[in-house]
């Protein structure tokens, strides 16, 4: 067995690993080669030190894991993952130990004194994988729900308050949208601000980003609410359903309570239907202080599955 950093040429084999896992331990998301290459190209990830694959003598990728850091002056976090072939469970504990050690290195090798958090999301139904994570020392977790609804017959969008207009995402509003994201999520659990470069790298620079399905609420040339959508063709092919994923929804604090997020979600659902998609999905922190789950339920979304987001503070 050879352990080494992955390269772009491994993208297809890593995607195939996830396709083998899914029938045995259902995944919320089955990444395709495009997503794997996107991960390898993220500016805050160093594949040589942050990612590992296990490759057998035939060249088959049997495991893929890594730690994705997000370091800021007000806090730091990293997201871990460790995926192992169903026939190679003996690799699981070692891979989890490696990604956990790498995450701790990333968060402790800093001089700003800010708090750090290691997060390890795992689908709630994956008993074996969750047991391995808990054996590695994770005990606390937050519940996140994946919710979905058909794009057919969306509800009526709430009326807009005076002085607010809605537009599809436009490049000239990208910086303002990043600012709105940082303000809207400043009081959310586990959230950290993003720089403009990181925003473009992770969000609007992604090949899955769909500006034609993404909507902004603007007041006085300032973005006050946003609904950012993606379409992952590889994922849709794996599941056989043409799906739009609502990646980010938020409203700045001084504009909350006017139904702006709900309005934008309805607009996105309508656009997705016009584009030939069939299902809209999103993820939500079920313990959020904004009670977002109730908002989505009123818009017709129901829970499809849940993820246990394990965490450790460093």
Range list for CATH 3.40.630.30 in the chain: 2-138, 147-308
Q: Are strands 165-168 and 51-55 parallel, antiparallel or unpaired?
A: unpaired
Of 294, 291, 287, the residue nearest 309 (C-alpha): 287
Query: Rounded to whole angstroms, how far apart are CA atoms 166 and 27?
Result: 35
pLDDT in tens, 156-202: 999 999 999 999 999 999 999 999 999 999 999 999 999 999 999 99
Query: Rounded to whole angstroms, how far apart are CA atoms 241 and 235?
Result: 9
Where residue 238 falls among pLDDT bands split at 50, 70, 90? confident
- pLDDT for the residue 288: 87
Where residue 7 falls among pLDDT bands split at 50, 70, 90? very high
Where residue 108 falls among pLDDT bands split at 50, 70, 90? confident
Q: Which CATH architecture has domain 2-138?
A: 3-Layer(aba) Sandwich (3.40)
pLDDT in tens, 257-288: 999 999 999 999 999 999 999 999 999 999 98
Considering only CA atoms, give the Rg of the chain.
Answer: 20
Has residue 291 got a pLDDT over 90? no
- pLDDT for the residue 314: 85
- pLDDT for the residue 112: 67
Does domain 147-308 sit in CATH 3.90.1150.10? no
- pLDDT for the residue 244: 98
- pLDDT for the residue 208: 96
Name the residue with tokens 């402790």.
108
């Amino acid at each position: 067995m050879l352990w080494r950093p992955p390269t772009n040429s491994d993208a297809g084999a890593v995607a195939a690993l996830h396709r083998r896992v899914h029938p045995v331990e259902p995944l919320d998301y089955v990444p395709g080669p495009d997503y794997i290459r996107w991960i390898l190209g993220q500016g805050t990830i160093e594949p040589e030190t942050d990612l590992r694959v296990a490759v057998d003598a035939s060249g088959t990728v049997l495991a893929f894991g890594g730690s994705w850091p997000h370091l800021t002056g007000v806090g730091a976090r990293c997201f871990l993952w460790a995926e192992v072939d169903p026939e190679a469970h003996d690799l699981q504990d070692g891979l989890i130990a490696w990604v956990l050690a790498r995450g701790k290195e990333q968060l402790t090798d800093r001089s700003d004194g800010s708090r750090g958090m290691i997060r390890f999301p795992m689908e709630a139904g994956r008993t074996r994988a969750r047991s391995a994570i808990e054996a590695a020392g994770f005990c606390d977790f937050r519940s996140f729900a994946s919710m979905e609804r058909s794009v057919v017959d969306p509800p009526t969008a709430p009326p807009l308050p005076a002085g607010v207009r809605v537009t599809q995402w436009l490049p000239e509003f990208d910086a303002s949208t990043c600012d709105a994201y940082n303000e809207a999520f400043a009081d959310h659990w586990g959230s950290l601000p993003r720089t403009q470069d990181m925003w473009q790298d992770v969000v609007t620079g992604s090949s899955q980003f769909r500006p034609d399905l993404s909507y902004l609420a603007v007041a006085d040339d300032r973005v006050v609410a946003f609904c950012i959508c993606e379409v992952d063709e590889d994922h849709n092919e794996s599941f056989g359903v043409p799906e739009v994923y609502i990646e980010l929804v938020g409203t700045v604090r001084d504009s909350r309570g006017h139904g702006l997020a709900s309005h934008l979600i309805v607009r996105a659902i309508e656009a997705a239907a016009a584009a030939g998609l069939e299902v809209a999905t999103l993820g939500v922190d079920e313990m959020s202080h904004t009670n977002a789950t109730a908002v989505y339920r009123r818009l017709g979304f129901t829970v499809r599955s849940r993820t246990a987001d394990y965490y450790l503070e460093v």
